[in-house]
Amino acid sequence: MTFTADQLHDLERLIEEEHRRFSRALAEGVGTEHAARQLRALDAARVRIADGTFGRCRACGRDIELDRLIAHPAAVRCLACQEGIDRRAADPEP
Could you tell me the CATH number of the domain that includes residue 62? 1.20.120.910
pLDDT, position 94: 58
Q: What is the pLDDT of residues 15-40, one digit of tens each?
A: 999 999 999 999 999 889 999 999 99
What average pLDDT does this structure show over 65-88?
95
- Full residue range of the structural domain in which residue 53 is found: 5-90
In this prediction, residue 2 carries a pLDDT of 82
Domain count, the chain: 1
pLDDT score recorded for residue 31: 84
Does 50 have pLDDT greater than 80? yes
- Long-range contacts from 40-47, C-beta under 8 angstroms, 24+ separation: 41/74, 41/76, 42/15, 42/18, 42/73, 42/74, 43/19, 44/74, 44/76, 45/15, 45/73, 45/74, 46/15
